[in-house]
Structure 1
Amino acid sequence: MQALEHEIKALVIESLNLEDITPDDIDPTAALFVEGLGLDSIDALELGLALQKRYGVSMSADSEETRKHFASVRALAEFVSASRTR
């Protein structure tokens, strides 16, 4: 799971063009939105598209379940991992 978390951290940085940050700078349990990385709704859309392209996962933009998946890098990794085994 750590390898997948690292991949997702790199994807976040790449897809959102975050400067001066490395995957090691991102706490896998820290919030992605508001606090933590401070991402916003536009970032969520871009990240969702990047996840869909890279891992073939899809999620509803307004779903409460999607909000849980986007809570942290670890939550995203768990979602991607679970989606792969279906």
Structure 2
Amino acid sequence: MSTHQFARRDDRFLRRYEYDDSWVVAGDLGVADDAVSVDVVGTTAIVVIDDGERVSETEFELPGPDAEVSINNGVLTVTVRK
């Protein structure tokens, strides 16, 4: 397994884990699950957060297509099979 970490301007950290059969991108967004929407277009993930006070949008490239997305307790997890 290898790990990469990167941050956006809003100080939200994302980590990318590489396993033998998949890549996993995970980040604690710090907001309620219903404040987050995620769209995957090709190999781009588009994350929109609307916490009632402001709306922010972040895009990041995924290492491949066919991503599975889940949000649980404000933690975004995107899994891409190799």
Shorter-chain TM-score: what band? 0.3 to 0.5
**Relative contact order: is structure 1 or structure 2 higher (C-alpha 8 Å, sep ≥ 6)?**
1
- More strand, by proportion: 2
- More helix, by proportion: 1
Looking at CA atoms only, which structure, 1 or 2, has the larger radius of gyration? 2
TM-score (norm 2): 0.34
TM-score (norm 1): 0.33
